[in-house]
Amino acid sequence: MADGKKYFVLMESGKDTTQVFASKQPRGAALKAATRGHTDIKLRERGTKRVHHFTGSISMVPKPAGGPDWLPDQIKKANVKKQGILHLD
């Protein structure tokens, strides 16, 4: 991990799913999960016994002023709030 990237596995009902998000920080991975429509986000950090718990939402906002032409007028903006860290046994 020379670039500092960590991998976070999305959990549902206490079990791992096949979705893995890569980011340096757990919040970055949670934002990616929220963008894909998840609201109760539990991310298990690979190689550790930590599970990062977030709540997420999406809002539609106008595209930025300097946005490229191919970007639609309304884009998804993810928002997450950390609820805490759970430890697996």
Higher local confidence (pLDDT), 61 or 14: 61
48: CB partners within 8 A, 6+ apart: none
On the question of pLDDT at 1 being above 60, the answer is: no
On the question of pLDDT at 79 being above 90, the answer is: yes
- Per residue in 25-64, pLDDT tens? 999 999 999 999 999 999 999 999 999 999 999 999 999 9
Question: What pLDDT sits at residue 14?
Answer: 87
Identify whether the C-beta of residue 54 lies closer than 8 Å to the C-beta of residue 46.
Answer: no
- Per residue in 16-33, pLDDT tens? 999 999 999 999 999 999
Question: What pLDDT sits at residue 2?
Answer: 63
Strand order in the sheet with 6-12: 15-23, 6-12, 40-45, 50-62, 74-87
